[in-house]
Amino acid sequence: MVIKMYYLDHVEIKKLTKDLIPRSRENPVDERLRGWNWFNSPVRPYSSSLLLPVWDVACSICPTRRDAWIRNKILKKSVPTTKQQAKGFIIHKLISSMFIKAKKLVYLGEKNLKEKLIEESKKALKNEIENMKKFVEIREDELLDFCEKIIEWQASRIESSVYETTAKYPFLNEESLVQMAFPIATEMVVDGSLLGLSRYLRMDAASIFSGIIFDIKLGKKEEWHRIQVAGYALAFESFFERPIDIGCTVYVNYYRGNIRIERDFYIIGDYLRSLFLEKRDELQMILLKDEEPRVADRCPKICMFKNKYCL
Ligand code: SF4
Protein backbone atom coordinates (compact mmCIF):
# COMPACT_ATOMS: atom_id res chain seq x y z
CA MET A 1 0.00 0.00 0.00
CA VAL A 2 1.12 3.54 -0.63
CA ILE A 3 1.66 6.38 1.85
CA LYS A 4 2.64 3.54 4.14
CA MET A 5 2.84 5.77 7.15
CA TYR A 6 -0.91 5.55 7.63
CA TYR A 7 -2.09 2.77 5.34
CA LEU A 8 -2.62 -0.59 6.94
CA ASP A 9 -1.19 -3.85 5.70
CA HIS A 10 -3.10 -7.10 5.34
CA VAL A 11 -2.36 -8.38 8.85
CA GLU A 12 -3.22 -5.04 10.45
CA ILE A 13 -6.57 -4.92 8.66
CA LYS A 14 -7.35 -8.43 9.95
CA LYS A 15 -6.35 -7.51 13.50
CA LEU A 16 -8.48 -4.39 13.37
CA THR A 17 -11.57 -5.92 11.88
CA LYS A 18 -11.50 -9.28 13.70
CA ASP A 19 -10.13 -8.21 17.03
CA LEU A 20 -9.79 -4.55 18.00
CA ILE A 21 -13.01 -3.15 16.53
CA PRO A 22 -15.22 -6.04 17.76
CA ARG A 23 -13.63 -5.77 21.22
CA SER A 24 -14.23 -2.02 21.33
CA ARG A 25 -17.92 -2.67 20.52
CA GLU A 26 -18.33 -5.48 23.05
CA ASN A 27 -16.86 -3.33 25.76
CA PRO A 28 -17.91 0.22 24.85
CA VAL A 29 -16.40 3.35 26.33
CA ASP A 30 -18.19 4.68 29.39
CA GLU A 31 -20.42 7.49 28.09
CA ARG A 32 -19.14 9.75 30.85
CA LEU A 33 -15.69 9.53 29.28
CA ARG A 34 -16.69 10.57 25.79
CA GLY A 35 -15.46 13.99 24.68
CA TRP A 36 -19.00 15.12 23.85
CA ASN A 37 -19.72 14.98 27.57
CA TRP A 38 -17.38 17.98 28.04
CA PHE A 39 -19.88 19.89 30.21
CA ASN A 40 -19.97 17.16 32.88
CA SER A 41 -17.36 15.74 35.22
CA PRO A 42 -14.88 14.07 34.70
CA VAL A 43 -14.47 15.41 31.16
CA ARG A 44 -15.30 18.98 32.15
CA PRO A 45 -12.00 20.83 32.59
CA TYR A 46 -10.86 22.30 35.89
CA SER A 47 -10.46 25.60 34.05
CA SER A 48 -11.75 26.78 30.67
CA SER A 49 -9.42 29.77 30.55
CA LEU A 50 -6.08 27.96 30.67
CA LEU A 51 -5.81 26.07 27.39
CA LEU A 52 -3.07 23.45 27.11
CA PRO A 53 -1.48 21.55 24.23
CA VAL A 54 -2.33 17.84 24.34
CA TRP A 55 1.36 17.04 24.04
CA ASP A 56 2.21 19.06 27.15
CA VAL A 57 -0.50 17.28 29.16
CA ALA A 58 0.47 13.78 28.14
CA CYS A 59 4.26 13.91 28.16
CA SER A 60 5.68 13.26 31.62
CA ILE A 61 9.41 13.70 31.54
CA CYS A 62 9.62 15.71 34.77
CA PRO A 63 8.41 14.10 38.02
CA THR A 64 7.17 17.49 39.37
CA ARG A 65 5.89 18.79 35.99
CA ARG A 66 8.38 21.61 36.22
CA ASP A 67 9.14 21.19 32.50
CA ALA A 68 5.55 22.15 31.61
CA TRP A 69 5.77 25.10 33.99
CA ILE A 70 9.01 26.30 32.30
CA ARG A 71 7.38 26.02 28.88
CA ASN A 72 4.15 27.75 29.86
CA LYS A 73 5.41 30.38 32.30
CA ILE A 74 8.95 31.25 31.23
CA LEU A 75 9.43 30.32 27.60
CA LYS A 76 5.78 30.59 26.54
CA LYS A 77 6.59 28.23 23.67
CA SER A 78 6.24 24.53 22.89
CA VAL A 79 9.94 23.86 23.39
CA PRO A 80 10.95 20.18 23.67
CA THR A 81 12.32 18.80 26.95
CA THR A 82 14.60 16.20 25.38
CA LYS A 83 16.71 15.85 22.26
CA GLN A 84 14.54 12.96 21.17
CA GLN A 85 11.46 15.19 21.36
CA ALA A 86 13.30 17.87 19.36
CA LYS A 87 14.01 15.36 16.60
CA GLY A 88 10.41 14.18 16.82
CA PHE A 89 9.18 17.76 16.34
CA ILE A 90 11.21 18.07 13.16
CA ILE A 91 10.09 14.73 11.75
CA HIS A 92 6.47 15.50 12.58
CA LYS A 93 6.63 18.76 10.69
CA LEU A 94 8.49 17.19 7.83
CA ILE A 95 6.00 14.39 7.24
CA SER A 96 2.88 16.49 7.53
CA SER A 97 4.30 19.29 5.40
CA MET A 98 5.06 16.75 2.68
CA PHE A 99 1.41 15.77 2.40
CA ILE A 100 0.40 19.42 2.19
CA LYS A 101 3.05 20.17 -0.45
CA ALA A 102 2.06 17.08 -2.44
CA LYS A 103 -1.59 18.11 -2.50
CA LYS A 104 -0.64 21.62 -3.67
CA LEU A 105 1.53 20.15 -6.44
CA VAL A 106 -1.32 17.90 -7.59
CA TYR A 107 -3.63 20.93 -7.76
CA LEU A 108 -0.99 22.75 -9.80
CA GLY A 109 -0.83 19.80 -12.22
CA GLU A 110 2.88 19.18 -11.51
CA LYS A 111 4.18 16.24 -13.56
CA ASN A 112 7.46 15.69 -11.71
CA LEU A 113 5.79 15.23 -8.37
CA LYS A 114 8.51 13.23 -6.67
CA GLU A 115 11.40 15.44 -7.76
CA LYS A 116 9.65 18.65 -6.84
CA LEU A 117 8.51 17.24 -3.52
CA ILE A 118 12.03 16.13 -2.62
CA GLU A 119 13.50 19.50 -3.63
CA GLU A 120 10.99 21.57 -1.64
CA SER A 121 11.05 19.28 1.38
CA LYS A 122 14.84 19.31 1.64
CA LYS A 123 14.81 23.11 1.63
CA ALA A 124 12.13 23.23 4.33
CA LEU A 125 14.03 20.65 6.37
CA LYS A 126 17.15 22.83 6.56
CA ASN A 127 15.03 25.72 7.91
CA GLU A 128 13.39 23.46 10.49
CA ILE A 129 16.75 22.22 11.74
CA GLU A 130 18.12 25.78 11.94
CA ASN A 131 15.06 26.85 13.97
CA MET A 132 15.38 23.95 16.36
CA LYS A 133 19.08 24.63 16.88
CA LYS A 134 18.11 27.87 18.64
CA PHE A 135 16.77 25.74 21.50
CA VAL A 136 18.62 22.45 21.32
CA GLU A 137 22.06 21.19 20.38
CA ILE A 138 21.44 18.46 17.86
CA ARG A 139 23.76 16.38 15.72
CA GLU A 140 22.80 17.85 12.42
CA ASP A 141 24.55 15.43 10.05
CA GLU A 142 22.90 12.34 11.52
CA LEU A 143 19.45 13.94 11.64
CA LEU A 144 19.81 15.32 8.14
CA ASP A 145 20.65 11.90 6.77
CA PHE A 146 17.68 10.26 8.51
CA CYS A 147 15.27 13.00 7.41
CA GLU A 148 16.48 12.93 3.82
CA LYS A 149 15.82 9.20 3.72
CA ILE A 150 12.29 9.84 5.01
CA ILE A 151 11.79 12.52 2.35
CA GLU A 152 12.88 10.25 -0.49
CA TRP A 153 10.91 7.28 0.79
CA GLN A 154 7.77 9.31 1.41
CA ALA A 155 8.00 11.17 -1.91
CA SER A 156 8.20 7.87 -3.84
CA ARG A 157 5.14 6.54 -2.08
CA ILE A 158 3.12 9.68 -2.57
CA GLU A 159 4.00 9.76 -6.24
CA SER A 160 3.09 6.11 -6.74
CA SER A 161 -0.23 6.67 -4.96
CA VAL A 162 -1.04 9.51 -7.35
CA TYR A 163 0.06 7.45 -10.39
CA GLU A 164 -1.94 4.41 -9.30
CA THR A 165 -5.04 6.52 -8.79
CA THR A 166 -4.62 8.27 -12.15
CA ALA A 167 -4.11 4.94 -13.94
CA LYS A 168 -7.28 3.54 -12.42
CA TYR A 169 -9.40 6.68 -12.80
CA PRO A 170 -7.86 8.64 -15.71
CA PHE A 171 -10.70 11.17 -15.92
CA LEU A 172 -10.43 12.53 -12.39
CA ASN A 173 -10.01 16.25 -11.95
CA GLU A 174 -7.42 17.57 -9.46
CA GLU A 175 -9.91 17.87 -6.61
CA SER A 176 -11.07 14.24 -6.95
CA LEU A 177 -7.53 13.01 -7.49
CA VAL A 178 -6.43 14.56 -4.18
CA GLN A 179 -9.38 12.97 -2.39
CA MET A 180 -8.70 9.52 -3.85
CA ALA A 181 -4.92 9.54 -3.56
CA PHE A 182 -4.87 11.03 -0.03
CA PRO A 183 -7.90 9.51 1.71
CA ILE A 184 -6.54 10.26 5.19
CA ALA A 185 -6.99 13.73 6.67
CA THR A 186 -3.50 14.92 7.62
CA GLU A 187 -2.67 17.85 9.90
CA MET A 188 -6.22 17.94 11.09
CA VAL A 189 -7.00 20.92 13.30
CA VAL A 190 -9.50 20.59 16.11
CA ASP A 191 -10.57 23.22 18.64
CA GLY A 192 -9.94 21.58 22.02
CA SER A 193 -11.10 24.53 24.14
CA LEU A 194 -14.23 22.76 25.42
CA LEU A 195 -11.84 20.43 27.22
CA GLY A 196 -9.38 23.07 28.43
CA LEU A 197 -7.06 22.26 25.51
CA SER A 198 -5.61 24.45 22.77
CA ARG A 199 -7.88 25.94 20.15
CA TYR A 200 -5.56 24.70 17.40
CA LEU A 201 -4.82 21.09 18.20
CA ARG A 202 -3.10 19.51 15.26
CA MET A 203 -3.42 15.78 14.86
CA ASP A 204 -0.97 14.08 12.54
CA ALA A 205 -3.71 12.21 10.73
CA ALA A 206 -7.22 10.90 11.18
CA SER A 207 -9.34 8.46 9.28
CA ILE A 208 -12.73 9.92 10.09
CA PHE A 209 -14.72 7.11 8.47
CA SER A 210 -12.98 4.33 10.37
CA GLY A 211 -12.65 6.35 13.58
CA ILE A 212 -8.86 6.08 13.92
CA ILE A 213 -6.42 8.79 15.00
CA PHE A 214 -2.75 8.48 14.04
CA ASP A 215 0.22 10.03 15.76
CA ILE A 216 3.84 9.83 14.64
CA LYS A 217 6.62 9.20 17.14
CA LEU A 218 10.32 8.57 17.09
CA GLY A 219 12.15 6.03 19.23
CA LYS A 220 10.69 3.35 21.43
CA LYS A 221 7.14 2.88 22.71
CA GLU A 222 6.19 4.81 25.84
CA GLU A 223 2.89 4.85 27.69
CA TRP A 224 2.39 8.60 27.27
CA HIS A 225 2.25 8.18 23.49
CA ARG A 226 -1.08 6.39 23.87
CA ILE A 227 -2.27 8.90 26.47
CA GLN A 228 -1.59 11.70 24.00
CA VAL A 229 -3.75 10.04 21.34
CA ALA A 230 -6.51 9.59 23.94
CA GLY A 231 -6.36 13.38 24.42
CA TYR A 232 -6.83 13.94 20.69
CA ALA A 233 -9.72 11.46 20.62
CA LEU A 234 -11.47 13.29 23.46
CA ALA A 235 -10.97 16.65 21.71
CA PHE A 236 -12.22 15.22 18.42
CA GLU A 237 -15.34 13.83 20.11
CA SER A 238 -16.04 17.12 21.88
CA PHE A 239 -15.86 19.01 18.60
CA PHE A 240 -17.43 16.63 16.05
CA GLU A 241 -19.60 14.53 18.37
CA ARG A 242 -18.40 11.38 16.64
CA PRO A 243 -16.73 8.48 18.46
CA ILE A 244 -13.05 7.67 18.14
CA ASP A 245 -12.34 4.22 19.52
CA ILE A 246 -9.00 3.27 17.99
CA GLY A 247 -5.64 4.97 18.17
CA CYS A 248 -2.48 4.25 16.25
CA THR A 249 1.01 5.45 17.09
CA VAL A 250 3.30 5.23 14.09
CA TYR A 251 6.95 4.74 15.09
CA VAL A 252 9.44 6.00 12.53
CA ASN A 253 12.99 4.87 13.20
CA TYR A 254 16.32 4.31 11.56
CA TYR A 255 17.41 0.69 11.39
CA ARG A 256 20.66 -0.38 9.71
CA GLY A 257 20.56 2.57 7.36
CA ASN A 258 16.90 2.12 6.45
CA ILE A 259 13.61 3.63 7.54
CA ARG A 260 11.67 1.36 9.84
CA ILE A 261 7.94 1.91 10.34
CA GLU A 262 5.98 0.16 13.08
CA ARG A 263 2.36 0.84 13.94
CA ASP A 264 0.93 0.33 17.40
CA PHE A 265 -2.87 -0.02 17.36
CA TYR A 266 -4.96 0.13 20.53
CA ILE A 267 -8.44 0.78 21.87
CA ILE A 268 -8.86 4.25 23.35
CA GLY A 269 -10.78 2.90 26.31
CA ASP A 270 -11.74 4.16 29.74
CA TYR A 271 -8.27 3.69 31.23
CA LEU A 272 -6.39 5.85 28.71
CA ARG A 273 -9.12 8.49 28.74
CA SER A 274 -9.09 8.69 32.53
CA LEU A 275 -5.30 8.95 32.62
CA PHE A 276 -5.37 11.82 30.16
CA LEU A 277 -8.09 13.68 32.07
CA GLU A 278 -6.24 13.25 35.37
CA LYS A 279 -3.06 14.63 33.86
CA ARG A 280 -4.93 17.56 32.30
CA ASP A 281 -6.54 18.50 35.64
CA GLU A 282 -3.28 18.09 37.50
CA LEU A 283 -1.37 20.32 35.09
CA GLN A 284 -4.06 23.00 35.01
CA MET A 285 -4.05 23.10 38.82
CA ILE A 286 -0.24 23.38 38.96
CA LEU A 287 -0.15 26.22 36.43
CA LEU A 288 -3.10 28.10 37.90
CA LYS A 289 -1.70 27.98 41.42
CA ASP A 290 1.16 30.10 40.13
CA GLU A 291 3.55 28.27 42.42
CA GLU A 292 6.79 27.21 40.85
CA PRO A 293 7.07 23.39 40.98
CA ARG A 294 10.21 22.37 42.83
CA VAL A 295 13.24 20.87 41.13
CA ALA A 296 12.78 17.09 41.12
CA ASP A 297 14.91 14.96 43.44
CA ARG A 298 15.86 12.63 40.60
CA CYS A 299 15.81 14.24 37.19
CA PRO A 300 15.87 12.06 34.11
CA LYS A 301 19.26 12.52 32.44
CA ILE A 302 17.61 13.27 29.12
CA CYS A 303 15.96 16.48 30.40
CA MET A 304 17.62 19.45 28.74
CA PHE A 305 16.27 22.07 31.18
CA LYS A 306 18.70 20.99 33.90
CA ASN A 307 21.55 23.43 33.56
CA LYS A 308 19.49 26.40 32.47
CA TYR A 309 16.32 26.37 34.55
CA CYS A 310 16.78 23.81 37.32
CA LEU A 311 20.04 24.54 39.09
S1 SF4 B 1 15.76 19.25 35.12
FE2 SF4 B 1 14.61 18.00 36.55
S3 SF4 B 1 13.26 19.40 37.62
FE4 SF4 B 1 14.00 20.46 35.82
S5 SF4 B 1 12.43 20.09 34.34
FE6 SF4 B 1 13.97 18.54 34.05
S7 SF4 B 1 13.29 16.80 35.25
FE8 SF4 B 1 12.14 18.59 35.93
Tell me the C-alpha to C-alpha distance, in Å, between residue 182 and each of 5, 95, 210, 220. Answer: 12, 13, 15, 28
The reply to whether omega before 28 is within 30° of 0 (cis) is no
Atom number, ligand 1, closest to the C-alpha of residue 293: 3
What pLDDT was estimated at residue 196? 97
Q: How confident is the model at residue 209 (pLDDT cuts 50, 70, 90)?
A: low
What local confidence, expressed as pLDDT, does residue 37 receive?
97
Closest Cα to atom 3 of ligand 1:
295
For ligand 1, atom 1, which residue shows the shortest CA distance? 306
Residue 252 near residue 258, CB atoms below 8 Å: no
Give the chain's length. 311
Ligand 1 within 6 A of 60 CB? no
With contact defined as beta carbons under 8 Å apart, do 56 and 71 qualify? Answer: yes
Q: Comparing C-alpha atoms, which of 223, 227, 185, 217 is closest to residue 203?
A: 185
Cβ of 71 closer than 6 Å to ligand 1, yes or no, is no
Give the other-Cβ count within 10 Å of 237's Cβ.
27
- Residue 214 CB burial class (10 angstroms; 0-12, 13-18, ≥19): buried
Q: What is the pTM of this model?
A: 0.89
Instruction: Give the span between the Cα atoms of 228 and 194, in whole angstroms.
Output: 17
CA-to-CA distance for 125 and 120, rounded, in angstroms? 9
- Report pLDDT digits (tens) over 15-63: 888 999 999 999 999 999 999 999 999 999 999 999 999 999 998 789 9
Q: pLDDT of 221-244, one tens digit each?
A: 998 999 999 999 999 999 999 999
Cα 209 to ligand 1 centre (Å): 41
Q: Where are the domains of the chain?
A: 10-288
Residue 2 has pLDDT above 70, yes or no: no
pLDDT at 229: 97
Give the pLDDT confidence of 253-291 residue by residue, as tens digits.
Answer: 888 778 888 999 999 999 999 999 999 999 999 999 878
* pLDDT per position as a tens digit, 144-171: 888 999 999 889 989 998 999 999 999 9
